[in-house]
């Protein structure tokens, strides 16, 4: 008895892919933000929650938002190869 594969709709698949991209990007952002805070502390330099730090964290978050949108649009416009 075989199972039949029913592909998800393009919208559902695009949302799923965009969500996975968001979660992966968010994980990268957390690692990056942690490294930006921990490395100066370990090297002994004075670390403050400066504007440069928050700018870097904001750029990481913007990168994740952009990649999430690109992932969604790419899936909606270009179907996966079968």
Q: Is residue 8 within 8 Å of 62, Cβ to Cβ?
A: no
User: What is the separation of C-alpha 51 from the centre of its chain, rounded to a whole number of angstroms?
Assistant: 23
Would you state the structure tokens that stand for residue 70, as one six-digit string? 């690109």
Q: Is residue 12 within 8 Å of 67, Cβ to Cβ?
A: no
Q: Which pLDDT belongs to residue 49?
A: 76
Would you state the structure tokens that stand for residue 68, as one six-digit string? 């999430």
Would you state the structure tokens that stand for residue 50, as one six-digit string? 């400066």
Q: Which residue has the higher pLDDT, 57 or 81?
A: 57
DSSP, collapsed to helix, strand or coil, labels residue 7 as: coil
pLDDT digit string (tens) for 16-33? 989 999 999 999 999 998
């Amino acid at each position: 008895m075989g199972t039949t594969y029913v592909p998800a709709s393009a919208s559902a698949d695009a949302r799923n892919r965009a969500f996975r991209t968001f979660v992966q990007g968010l994980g990268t952002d957390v690692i990056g933000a942690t490294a930006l805070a921990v490395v100066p502390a370990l090297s002994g330099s004075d670390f403050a929650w400066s504007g440069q730090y928050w700018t870097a964290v904001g750029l990481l978050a913007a990168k994740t938002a952009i990649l999430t949108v690109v992932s969604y649009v790419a899936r909606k416009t270009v179907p996966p190869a079968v």
